[in-house]
Structure 1
Amino acid sequence: MNETVVVAGAVYDRGRLLAARRSAPPELAGRWELPGGKVEPGESPQQALVRELREELGIETEPLERIAGEWPLKPGLVLHAWTARLLDGEPRPLQDHDELRWLAPEEADAVDWLPQDLPAVAEAMRILGALSRSGPGAAP
């Protein structure tokens, strides 16, 4: 069976990570995630991430690198996470989200993350913390 890949973006800006609170579907509403969506046929994961973040949040991003690992969402769906840099726009919750928050590495536990996002969030925050410690202007 072929699995459909869902891409999630660990979007960085000024030393912070973007978190998005789900408004739909009902079983996920109120929980937080790294925003993204399904890779469509003929699309690369990076292209899907750019498209999804544009549709869901109204921002332009640059995918950087894939976070190691993959996490099952439900039968037939697997989550891949990518780091991404904010290039343009101010994120707004346009689709499937009702609130957004920028979190510094020490604020990773400030929101109620969806369980499948936790490993990717932990790694994204580790990467962000390392970038922040490497000097002024180093963090994307």
Structure 2
Amino acid sequence: MSKEVNVVVGVIIRNDEILIAKRSAKQHQGGLWEFPGGKVESGEGEVEALARELNEELGIEINPEACQKRQQIHHQYPDKAVNLNIYWVNDFSGTEQGKEGQPLKWVAKEQLADYPFPEANQPILDELLSKN
């Protein structure tokens, strides 16, 4: 069994739209859409890692106090295990841009089903698309 990768994920919400990014073809699950985030480094807290990753990938600064942990998802792919720590991000500054060349899109919740996501993201999509 492969080692589990510890990841933070930001569900970035603005005016009832969600920011999604397309994974590079070279990445694991490449070509699929995702909620931005990345690996938690050794000695780093989850929110600290989320702030660093979103700044590196998107050029935005988040308000750590406004981040709300919503889910923790463990998923085993055939070649990799992931532990996703999911945070809702409602307060950020800066203009988002794909700093690693990745396409970005703001989409309405109802449109999320139109985009292919990695299998591990299904619980996030389920929560976003639920009527609760």
Q: Same fold (TM over 0.5)?
A: yes
Contact 2:17 2:106 in 1 (8 A): yes
Gaps of 5+ in 1: 131-140
Match of 1:82 among 58, 69, 87: 87
RMSD across aligned positions (CA): 2.3
Shift of the 26–52 alpha-carbon distance from structure 1 to 2, 3 Å rule, reads: closer
Partner SS state of residue 42, structure 2: coil
Amino acid of the structure 2 residue aligned with 1:41 = S
**What is the alpha-carbon distance in structure 1 between the residues aligned to residue 71 and residue 4 of structure 2?**
18
Q: TM-score, normalised by structure 2?
A: 0.82
Does 112-121 or 64-73 show the bigger shift?
64-73
Partner SS state of residue 106, structure 1: helix
User: Which residue matches 1:136?
Assistant: none
Partner SS state of residue 11, structure 1: strand
Instruction: Determine whether 1:91 maps to 2:96.
Output: yes
Match of 1:122 among 98, 122, 126: 126
Sequence identity, in percent?
A: 31
Amino acid of the structure 1 residue aligned with 2:94 = G
Match of 1:70 among 59, 68, 73: 73
User: Which residue matches 2:115?
Assistant: 111
Q: State the shift of 1:106 in Å.
A: 1.3
**What is the alpha-carbon distance in structure 2 between the residues aligned to residue 58 and residue 121 of structure 1?**
24
Q: State the shift of 1:10 in Å.
A: 0.3
Partner SS state of residue 52, structure 2: helix
**What is the alpha-carbon distance in structure 1 between the residues aligned to residue 57 and residue 96 of structure 2?**
9
Per-residue Cα deviation, 1:56-87 (whole angstroms, up to 9, x for no partner): 01111235211223132554531121111242
Q: TM-score, normalised by structure 1?
A: 0.77
